């Protein structure tokens, strides 16, 4: 549901990032077949050199959690998210995009998290100038979401109510099958009031260069990402300190050996955390296969991720990998552990039938190093040193059904079976049971 296809009369479909949609080729016949497109590509002046597209996103989610241990509390609550956007294009080169959002929660007994509530805020608000013969290059300035590659390091925070965005300058350049993005950004510090998110109000910074080269059956990404956090926390030392981290990565993905899918990524990180030199790495490999049956498609896959942990508490090196701002849904971490100091094998079995998609899987978890702790997605240190590395395993089933190209629902059940080591080290090491029922509408 997250791709947009224009050619040969195929239907338009909303994207995850709404500013990636382009309705400039929309025709009257398409609008007649799909009435929801009446809000797209509307001429605002007589010559129709100024056109606007308007849209809405509505997500209603009921979430039930059990934990954080067998005796812990059970809490069920509603998460609601409204988003509205306007994409105004001035001729072929200038563009302004605005997307406002309101996020709130109801019936939650556990403490409300910072990613649950924001009365009204700009998720995106930027100006863009396109250049080049095909106008496929651009300079974009303002508040915007970022998503690169598979989202293993930089992706929208789609799971929680409030998605992450950045105050950024981004330049995109495209030559045939090669593209290059350069950007510098400040992470937006979300507040709970009305339009009170400050511009450049967060000291966490992210910058980098991201390139992609495409061939017929394979693709490659090469990138550099820089990150600065003045208040980073790792088990290496007791106090928070400045972190300046540089990531050099490569990704290779595509199809081979009779439509066998592969997606492999490796990252090396260096820099400084306080007085410690950073020396960390990550490797993540996914192998998948689409098996065409008579009326459906079977989709088995295997994944293995290794995210380095700190190997010594006494030397001057920090070897804890930092995943920065990843797509946590890719890692299926309902256990609430950030992909740092983790070894994570995963087995999935998917089945697609018309508008129905079902995925079931199992995740296993080990600490990569006994000398390092575990980390929450918020950056908090959950668990420090210990003698054991096995953390347990997780079973889950996710069902998606698309009523139309605009309306879909999701049902997720995830169960985390903790190791004795986790159980003996406190009650806040992941959710025992997670149930999600989600309704999503996009206009």
pLDDT tens-digit readout, 55-76: 999 999 999 988 755 556 788 9
CA dist 121 and 102 (Å) reads: 7
Q: How far is CA 386 from CA 206, 321, 344, 401, in A?
A: 33, 19, 19, 43
309-359-433 Cα angle (round to 5): 60
CA dist 115 and 1 (Å) reads: 25
Domain ranges of the chain: 50-442
Q: Is the pLDDT of residue 305 over 60?
A: yes
Say if CB 286 and CB 262 are below 8 A apart.
yes
Tell me the β-bridge partners of 185: 168, 206
Q: Is the pLDDT of residue 243 over 90?
A: yes
Q: What is the mean pLDDT of the chain?
A: 90
DSSP state of 328: H
CA dist 173 and 298 (Å) reads: 37
Tell me the β-bridge partners of 219: 214, 253
Say if CB 365 and CB 338 are below 8 A apart.
no
User: In this predicted structure, what is the pLDDT of residue 259?
Assistant: 80
Say if CB 254 and CB 217 are below 8 A apart.
yes
Tell me the β-bridge partners of 373: none
pLDDT tens-digit readout, 166-202: 999 999 999 999 999 999 999 999 899 999 999 998 8
More confidently predicted of 253 and 74: 253
Give percent of the chain with pLDDT exceeding 90. 71
CA dist 99 and 176 (Å) reads: 30
User: In this predicted structure, what is the pLDDT of residue 29?
Assistant: 87
pLDDT tens-digit readout, 9-47: 346 889 999 999 999 888 888 888 888 999 999 999 999
Residue 441 phi, psi (nearest 5): -125, 135
Task: Give the length of the chain.
Answer: 443
User: In this predicted structure, what is the pLDDT of residue 7?
Assistant: 38
Q: Is the pLDDT of residue 427 over 60?
A: no
CA 180 to chain centre: 20
Say if CB 35 and CB 160 are below 8 A apart.
no
Provide the 3-class DSSP secondary structure of residue 420: helix
CB-based contacts of 177, cutoff 8 Å, min separation 6 = 213, 214, 215
User: In this predicted structure, what is the pLDDT of residue 133?
Assistant: 87
Q: Is the pLDDT of residue 5 over 70?
A: no
CA dist 123 and 335 (Å) reads: 27
Q: Could you tell me the fold of the domain covering 50-442? A: Porin (2.40.160)
Provide the 3-class DSSP secondary structure of residue 228: strand
CA dist 271 and 317 (Å) reads: 10
Entry pTM: 0.92
């Amino acid at each position: 549901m997250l791709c947009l296809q224009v050619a040969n009369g195929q239907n338009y479909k909303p994207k995850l990032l709404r500013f990636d949609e382009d309705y400039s080729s929309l025709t009257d016949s398409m609008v007649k077949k799909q009435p929801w497109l009446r809000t797209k590509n509307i001429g605002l002046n007589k010559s129709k050199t100024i056109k606007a597209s308007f849209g809405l996103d509505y997500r209603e989610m009921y979430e039930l959690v059990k934990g954080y241990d067998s005796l812990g509390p059970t809490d069920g609550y509603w998460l609601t998210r409204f988003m509205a956007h306007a994409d105004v294009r001035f001729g072929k080169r200038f563009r302004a995009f605005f997307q406002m959002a309101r996020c709130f929660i109801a019936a939650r007994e556990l403490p409300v998290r910072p990613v649950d509530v924001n009365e009204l805020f700009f998720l995106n608000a930027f100006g863009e100038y396109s250049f080049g013969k095909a106008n496929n290059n651009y300079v974009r300035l303002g508040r915007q979401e970022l998503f690169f590659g598979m989202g293993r390091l930089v992706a929208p925070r789609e799971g929680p109510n409030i998605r992450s965005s950045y105050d950024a300058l981004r330049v995109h350049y495209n030559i045939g099958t090669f593209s290059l993005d350069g950007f510098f950004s400040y992470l937006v510090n979300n507040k709970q009031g009305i339009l009170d998110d400050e511009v450049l109000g967060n000291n966490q910074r992210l910058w980098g260069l991201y390139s992609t080269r495409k061939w017929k059956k394979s693709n490659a990404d090469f990138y550099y990402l820089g990150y600065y956090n003045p208040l980073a926390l790792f088990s290496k030392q007791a106090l928070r300190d400045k972190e300046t981290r540089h990531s050099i990565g490569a990704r290779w993905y595509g199809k081979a050996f009779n439509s066998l899918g592969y997606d492999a990524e490796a990252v090396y990180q260096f820099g400084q955390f306080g007085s410690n030199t950073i020396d960390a790495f990550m490797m993540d490999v996914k192998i998948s296969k689409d098996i065409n049956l008579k009326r459906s498609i079977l989709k088995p896959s295997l994944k293995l991720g290794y995210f380095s942990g700190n190997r010594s508490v006494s030397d001057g090196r920090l070897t804890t990998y930092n995943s920065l701002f990843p797509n946590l849904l890719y890692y299926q971490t309902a256990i609430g552990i950030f992909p740092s100091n983790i070894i994570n094998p995963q087995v999935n079995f998917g089945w697609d039938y018309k508008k129905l998609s079902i995925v079931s899987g199992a995740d296993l978890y080990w600490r990569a190093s006994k000398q390092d702790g575990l980390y929450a997605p918020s950056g908090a240190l959950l668990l420090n040193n210990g003698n054991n590395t096995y953390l347990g395993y997780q079973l889950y089933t996710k069902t998606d059904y698309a009523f139309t190209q605009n309306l879909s629902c999701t049902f997720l059940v995830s169960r985390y079976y903790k190791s004795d080591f986790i159980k003996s080290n406190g009650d806040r090491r992941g959710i025992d049971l997670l149930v999600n029922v989600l309704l999503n509408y996009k206009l």
